[in-house]
Amino acid sequence: MENNVVRLTMAQAIVRYLVNQYTEIDGERVPLFAGAFGIFGHGNVTCLAEALERVQDQLPTWRGQNEQSMALAAIAFAKAKKRRQIMIATSSVGPGATNMVTAAAVAHANRLPVLLLCGDTFTNRLPDPVLQQVEHFGAPSTTVNDSFRSVSRFWDRITHPAQTISSLPQAVATMLDPADCGPAFIGMPQDIQEIAYDYPVEFFEEKTWRIARPRASADQIEAAVSLLKTAKKPLILSGGGVRYSGAEEVLAEFAHARGIPMAETIAGKGGVTHNHPAYVGAMGIEGTDAAKELAETADVVVAIGTRLQDFTTGSWTTFARDAKFITINAARFDASKHRAVPVVGDALVCLQEISEALGDWACPPKRMQKAQELYAEWNREVDAGQAPTNAELPSYAQVVGAINKQAKPEDIMVTAAGGLPGETIKNWRCISPHSFDCEFGFSCMGYEVAGGWGHAIAKQGNGVPIVLVGDGSYLMMNSDIYSSVLSGHKMIVIVCDNGGFGVINRLQTGMGGAGFNNLLADCRVADKDNIPHVDFTAHAKAMGAHARHCESLSDLEEAMAWAQTTDKTTVITINTDAYKWTPGGADWYVGVPEVSEREAVRNARATQEEFRKKQRQGI
C-alpha cells in the first residue's frame, strides 16, 4: 500500500469491499454479506474465485448444484433475515448466468435483496466468440447478461476497474432501500476482472449500513386518519412489508386496540400467530372464507406493505366497488394503486403516527364480533377437513395438519407454487411468528428445497425448515438436498406425490377443459397401464439424506417425530389425493375461450363473465 492506495484486481476489489460492509440486527453488528453461493466456470473461477478463497473465513462460499437454486437459497436467506442481511450468488458466463435469471425475477417480484455476480465476455473482443458466448450480429456489446435488466433493481457491467468505486455502493444502497429493494446484478467481463488498479484505501473502510425508516408526509397521515374515522366496517390487510419493517407487534396491537379485523397476504402470513384475537386468516383466492366475507363488506381497507397481487384481491373482485383504500407502503408505486389514499413510508412509524392521530377512535365492536364468529367457523371447517377418513389417499389438508402438529415453535414451513400454497395458507396454523414462507410472488416451482436450504443457513440450527413440496416441483429442482447434506444444514422435506401437476389439472378441468398433459395419467406415455413412478425415497437416499416412505397419516406423524431427531436432512414421502382440495377463497380471473366445442368450457366462460362484472377497474 503506497500513497493511500492499494493495488488490487477488479475481482479482488469487489470482494474486499463486500467483506467490509456491516449491518445491525437486533442491536448486534454483523456482516452485511453473510456468505456466497458459487458455481465456478471459466468466467469467474480464475479471478473472482481466487479472491473469494482468500476471505473464506470471513465470507464463506457454499457450493450449489444449480445456479438458479443457489440464488433461490440466497433469496430465502434474505427473507429469513427480514432483508437486513444479504447473500451473494455467482456464476460463470452463458448458461450459468441465464440459469439465475428466474431467481432474479423471484427476488424482483418479492422485493428481496440478492447480489448476483456473473462472469461476462471479453470487452476487448480479441478471443470472440468465447466459449458459451451468444453473439448478436447487430449489437456486439450485447451478452446474455443483458437479460437481467428486466428482472433487476440495479444493473451494471464493469468495463473499467475504477467503476467499482461508484457501482458497488449504489448496488448496496438499492438492496437496502425499503422502497426500491430487490436484486442487484453486476456483470464482470473476464478481461476486466484480471486488471489491477490503484484503489483509494478509503473505499475499503468498514461501513455499517442502517435500514432507513422513511416517514410519510403530515398531510398523508391526516388524510388516512380522516378516512379511517369514517369507517364502520374496516379491514386491515397485512403484507410482507409489515414483516420486513418489523411492525408485526405494533400492527397486532393496533388492530386489537382499534377493533379492526386483520387479514394477511401470502407474503404477510406468519406476522402473527393464528390465534391472535383480531386475526381472520389469509386473504384472497387461496384465503379463508372469513377474510373473504369481511373483504366483501369492508367500507375502508387499510392495506399495509402489500403490492395487492391478484391472488390477494381475487382479481379485484373481492372488495366492494365503493370500498375505499388506505395503502401504507415504503414504495410510492405500490401505495398509489387503485386511487388509494397513499401513505408513503415505513410501516412501523406510519402506524405509530396514525395511531397517535386517531386518538381514542375505535371501530364499532360488532365488526370484531362478526369477524371472530366467521373465523371460528372457518377453523371448525379446517378441523373437519384435517380429520382422518377412510379415503384411499390422504388429502393435502390432512397431510398439512399432521405435519403442523409435529412442528416446533422455532421451525418454519417452506413451500411454493403448485397446490401446496393454497393448502398451507388455508390449513397451516402459525404457532409462532415468522414460521411460514410461501414463495408466491413469482410462484416459482423449485423454490421449495432451495429455499429450505437458505432458511437452514439463516437459522444456524435454531429450528428446522420443514419443506412441503409436490412431486412436480421436486422433479424440477431437488439437488439442494445434496447441498444441505454437504454443508451440514438440516431440513425436513415432505414430498407429496399426487401423480403430476395436480393443481393446474384442477384449474384446467375446472375451466371446462379435458385433463391434458398435467397428471401423468393424462400425458403421452409409452405404457398407460404401467406408468413408471419415481421412487422419491430412494432418490433422496442417493443424495445422502435420511428418507422414509409413509403409507398413512399415522405413519406420517411417526415419521415427522423421527425426522425431528435425525442428524441431517431428512426426506419423507407420501402419496396424496390429486382431486381433493380445501374449499373456500375468492374467485380468479383467468382466460377462458370465448368459443369452444366443449359445453363445459362454454359454461365456465359464462361463469367467468358473470364474476368479472364485480371487478374494480382501478377506481
Half-sphere exposure of 518 (CA within 13 A, CB side): 18
- Residue 447 CA from chain centroid, whole number: 8
Secondary structure class of 186 (helix, strand, coil): strand
Question: Where does the pLDDT of residue 2 fall: very low under 50, low under 70, confident under 90, or very high at 90 and above?
Answer: low
Residue 253 sits in the same domain as residue 202 = no
Q: How many CB atoms lie within 10 A of CB 539?
A: 18
Indicate whether 459 pLDDT > 70: yes
Domain total of the chain? 3
* Residue where a domain terminates, one of 174, 209, 244: 209
Region class of 182: left (phi > 0), else alpha (psi between -120 and 50), else beta: left
Domain assignment present for 184 = yes
Contact indicator for 471, 496 with CB cutoff of 8 Å:
yes
Residue 394 sits in the same domain as residue 520 = yes
Domain assignment present for 605 = no
Cis peptide bond upstream of 129, omega within 30:
yes
Residue 619 pLDDT: 60
Domain assignment present for 549 = yes
Domain span including residue 37: 5-209
Residue 539 sits in the same domain as residue 394 = yes
**φ, ψ (nearest 5 deg) of residue 463:** 95, 170
Domain assignment present for 592 = no
Residue 196 sits in the same domain as residue 262 = no
pLDDT digits (tens, 9 = 90+) for 18-41: 999 999 998 999 999 999 999 999
Indicate whether 157 pLDDT > 90: yes
Domain assignment present for 601 = no
Cα angle 177, 271, 449 (rounded to 5 degrees) comes to 80
Residue 59 sits in the same domain as residue 187 = yes
Domain assignment present for 584 = no
Residue 61 sits in the same domain as residue 202 = yes
* Residue where a domain terminates, one of 164, 191, 209: 209
C-alpha cell, 88: 451473494
pLDDT digits (tens, 9 = 90+) for 545-562: 999 999 999 999 999 999
Domain assignment present for 445 = yes
CATH classification at residue 254: 3.40.50.1220
Name 609's Cβ contacts closer than 8 Å, sequence gap at least 6: none
467 closest CA partner among 561, 570, 544 = 570
Residue 355 sits in the same domain as residue 407 = no
Domain assignment present for 608 = no
- Residue 453 CA from chain centroid, whole number: 14
Residues 350-373: what's their mean pLDDT? 97
pLDDT digits (tens, 9 = 90+) for 278-337: 999 999 999 999 999 999 999 999 999 999 999 999 999 999 989 999 999 999 999 999
Contact indicator for 202, 166 with CB cutoff of 8 Å:
no
Residue 449 sits in the same domain as residue 485 = yes
Across 260-411, where does the E strand assignment appear? 262-264, 279-282, 300-304, 324-329, 341-344
Amino acid of residue 69: S
CATH classification at residue 548: 3.40.50.970
Helix locations, 177-239, DSSP H: 190-193, 218-228
* Lookup result for grid cell 410472488: 441
Residue 223 sits in the same domain as residue 203 = no
Residue 419 sits in the same domain as residue 534 = yes
Alpha-carbon separation of residue 560 from 456, 482, 492, 521 (angstroms): 17, 20, 8, 30
Residue 488 sits in the same domain as residue 411 = yes
Q: Is the dihedral of CA 538, 541, 545, 546 positive or negative?
A: positive
Residue 531 sits in the same domain as residue 471 = yes
* Residue where a domain terminates, one of 558, 575, 592: 575
Q: What is the DSSP letter of 579?
A: S
pTM above threshold 0.85: yes
